[in-house]
Amino acid sequence: MKAILDALGLAAENPGACTGPDGWITDPAGGTLVSHNPTTGAPIAAVRQATAHTYDRVVGAAATAFERWRELPAPKRGLVVRDLGQALRQNAEPLGDLVALEMGKIKAEGLGEVQEMIDICDFGVGLSRQLYGLAMHSERPGHRMYEQWHPLGPIGIISAFNFPVAVWSWNAALAAVCGDTMVWKPSSLTPLCAVAVQRICNEVMADHKLTGIFTLVIGSNDDVADRMNRDPRLPLISFTGSTRVGRHVAQTVAQRFGRTILELGGNNGIVVAEDADLALVVRAVLFGAVGTAGQRCTSTRRLIVHETIVDELTERLVRAYRQVPIGDPLQLGTLMGPLVTARAVDDMMAAIEAAKSIGGDLVVGGGRRPDLGPQFVEPAIIRMTEQARIVCEETFAPILYVMPYRDLDEAIALHNAVPQGLSSAIFTTNVRIAERFLSACGSDCGIANVNIGTSGAEIGGAFGGEKETGGGREAGSDSWKAYMRRQTCTINYSSDLPLAQGITFGDGASDHSGGPTPT
């Protein structure tokens, strides 16, 4: 543990706010936040939290930096993001280990999360030369119309524990090339990951003689998160978390006419057709439902299987589940680490009991593993005869509900009959079934896959979902537009002043030709 902290410049107690290379702020009035190892329950290190006063200093620094940063040409901003990606490459192993240590996901997933950060930086570098606007033909002679995009301002990023570094980077890399500065409030469960990333950012900013582009503020909801949501200096809040909290964020930010990017709950289902490759299904479900101990927003939680193969597939999954190595996430060979808190364990046990009380059949797993540590559990598979209320609720734990269906219409109806709409998948070798699932009458999710699972989205495609998932999009495609403001420009290069829609104003008769009115 000490080697990981030393490699990233972390101390026993760390300041929890920063505005740039020399801008670490230790707030004497701020409380101490201790980060605990979910594998053992032991403390790792502490962070001195920010108060409302420190929060104002950090946002003020980001706002001041924005005035200069927005004037730098986008390709020049891309060079800063390029160097951030290179710095992450140099620190990939210790940072990935820290993610595993503090969050509890296995080492391979921790390193994979850092790779996502590197990938989005590479994406951002290319994007810095592709912030395209449209040119339109004007109906008025001698006029030219076009759209352009301008930086939005300092943006707020509120990230969750389950992806303690990657989600920040999805926002930060794109926002930076768009000309925005950012204020980051990480989860209080994973503050050390944020401090480590900020240190890396500080080195990059120092190399470019910059400050205030990437800033950090760790603190309570009252002192930091709620202030961010109400702060008119932050035109955009990107929030990742629960639907319950996301609803509050959306309402609060909307009251001041701010914008939001919401990445909220997921209750992701896989439909398995009668002709599916079951070996492929088992591998996809194992990664999707067991990976990160079921604590991804894209974790597979529902398996909707054709009635002719549901028994066989369940038996295969039970055999696979019984072979899952559970233990220390930093040990090679481990496939599932602990849940992040004791409360998460209690929530899992309560969900299992609720499912059993209405006829659910717990076919494997579902127990606590105190022999491994206080927050270890066995991944569970529960056979359900119907999609009951507990199945429609998202439990952030490795619970997989298996349900049968008779025909594709029933499968799609079952799949869509939950409040969330993030990620979805179907396994089939029939192109007609696959295309139906991807059609407007198929999956209602923001992500729809064929013959791959619900987890493992690439940064090239826009990430996000519909319904109670919030409707936000991050990472690839044209999601960069969320971090900018659109401006429509019209230039009159003639010596006349025709009005749109042929309107005349003043002397003369109406001329609907679109040209100037004769005098």
Give catalytic residue positions. Answer: 263, 297
Which H or E element spans position 34?
strand 32-36
Question: How far apart (Å, rounded) are the C-alpha atoms in residues 197 and 102?
Answer: 14
Q: Considering Cα of 123, then 124, then 125, then 126, what sign does the dihedral take?
A: positive
What's the gap between Cα 133 and its chain centre? 26
Question: How far apart (Å, rounded) are the C-alpha atoms in residues 72 and 485?
Answer: 17
Question: How far apart (Å, rounded) are the C-alpha atoms in residues 135 and 213?
Answer: 31
The one-letter amino acid code at 409 reads: D
Select from 125, 124, 95 the least CA-distant residue to 112: 95
Phi/psi for 281 (5° steps) reads -60, -45
Q: From residue 275, how far is each of 402, 438, 464 by CA, in Å?
A: 18, 17, 29
141: alpha, beta or left? (left if phi > 0; alpha if psi -120 to 50): beta
User: Contact 468/421 with Cβ under 8 angstroms?
Assistant: yes
User: Contact 186/159 with Cβ under 8 angstroms?
Assistant: yes
Select from 314, 318, 379, 329 the least CA-distant residue to 351: 379
Contacts of residue 423, Cβ cutoff 8 Å, sequence gap at least 6: 266, 268, 297, 298, 445, 446, 447, 448, 449, 454, 455, 457, 465
Structure tokens, 269: 């289902």
Q: For 70, what's the count of Cα atoms within 13 Å in the CB-facing half-sphere?
A: 19
User: Contact 44/88 with Cβ under 8 angstroms?
Assistant: no
What's the gap between Cα 58 and its chain centre? 23
Strand ranges (DSSP E) for 107-142?
Answer: 135-136
User: Contact 3/34 with Cβ under 8 angstroms?
Assistant: no
Helix residue ranges, H only, 208-341: 226-230, 243-255, 278-285, 310-321
Residues forming a β-bridge with 368? 377
